[in-house]
Amino acid sequence: MKKAIRDAYGETLVKLGATNKNIVVLDADVSSSTKSGLFGAEYPERFFNVGVAEANMAGMAAGLASCGLIPFINTFAAFMVLRAADPIRTLGCYGGANIKIAGAYAGLSDSYDGATHHSIDDISFMRALPGMTVISVADAIEAEKAVEAAVEIQGPVYLRLSRAEHPYIYDKNYKFELGKGVVLREGNDITLIATGYMVSKTLEAADSLENQGISAKVVNIHTIKPIDRELIIKCAKETGLLVTIEEHSIYGGLGSAVTEVVCSSCPVPVEVIGIDDTFAESGDYEKLLHKYGLSSEAITNRIMTFVNKFNAAR
């Protein structure tokens, strides 16, 4: 069973909008892609399409927030970060505006549009902003819970959302706790820490590793900031080796966040798996992930190499 993250996102906005009249939604001419248009169809008086003007969308959202409204702003993650960066930093974070920033088509999920539309630097930027909460969701259920959580948080929140269909990891009873990682699978030899779509890929990789005699713990870090230090340190102590897996540049994302924690508190080897220092290209999404090292097969191979290196040294 699979469901597209963007559908879950749009449907949740509609659901919440029915009872919470303070929710307003803005989009920069991509509402049929981001699915914010579902909200617009239901509540046209609370939906504002600002045209292809991402920076102004974020600026207006800060103004709306100052009137007690809860604006969700929507565009592709790539343009959210690069075009709306200034109002997000200055008005959202420095000004403490209660804005919710939905970065659609994150990672390589807008695969065919190519590197201009991929977003592999958004976590890095958002994480560096004081006061920003950064959430990256792993399936449609988590998307729904994360949107609900974002409404409750007072202050700017970045929601990293994929275009793609994701297999269900959770069921309706899943309790989303902001800032708390989720252990999805127990294991003794190594901990695999993933976020977003890579959680599914990592669970598949853990199955393959088990067949090769490696017992891997799998953790979903949905809240990249503030990160679950306690859980990461516990995993480092228990399994000694860590691997992070993200659909993002190896610079500044989940891998950086995890290494920042363990370096000071419990130094263990950490293998950071993500997009290396390169732009990707157009192509089929799953094939693209494989070429750039993020298919379950590619992840498994990287982890085997990493484990063998340290086992040989022991």
Partner 1 sequence: MSLSTETTKYLNNLCRKFRIDLIQMLHKAQTGHPGGSLSATEIITTLYFEKMKVFPENPESPERDRFILSKGHAAPMLYLALAEKGFFQKEELKSFRQLDSILQGHPCVKGTPGIDLSTGPLGLGVSAAAGMAIGNKLKNINSYVYVIMGDGELQEGIVWEAAMSASKFKLNNLIAILDNNGVQLDGTVEDIMPMLDITKKWEAFGWNVINIDGHDVDQISEAIDSAKQSIDKPTIIIAKTIKGKGVSFMEGKNIWHGKPINNEEYEKAMAQLEEDEK
Nearest-approach distance from CB 67 to partner 1, in angstroms: 3
3-class secondary-structure state, position 246 = strand
**Bridge partners for 134 per DSSP:** 158, 225
- Of 128, 182, 187, the closest CA to residue 158 belongs to 128
Q: How many residues does the chain have?
A: 314
Nearest-approach distance from CB 20 to partner 1, in angstroms: 13
What is the rounded distance in angstroms from the CA atom of residue 295 to the CA atom of residue 302?
11
DSSP state of 119: B
98 or 200, CB closer to partner 1? 98
Interface ranges with partner 1 (CB under 8 A): 24, 45-46, 48, 50-51, 53, 55-56, 58-69, 71, 86-87, 90-91, 94-96
94 or 112, CB closer to partner 1? 94
What are the phi and psi torsion angles at 262 (to 5°)?
-75, -30
Q: Which positions are catalytic? A: 54
**Bridge partners for 223 per DSSP:** 135
91 or 101, CB closer to partner 1? 91
Scored b (16 or more CB within 10 A) or e, 42-81 reads: bbeebbbbbeeebbbbbbbbbebbeeebbbbbbbbbbbbb
H-helix or E-strand spanning residue 209: helix 198-211
H-helix or E-strand spanning residue 98: none
DSSP state of 115: T
Nearest-approach distance from CB 103 to partner 1, in angstroms: 19
**Bridge partners for 66 per DSSP:** none
Nearest-approach distance from CB 24 to partner 1, in angstroms: 7
Residues in Cβ contact with 149 at an 8 Å cutoff, skipping those fewer than 6 apart: 135, 176, 178
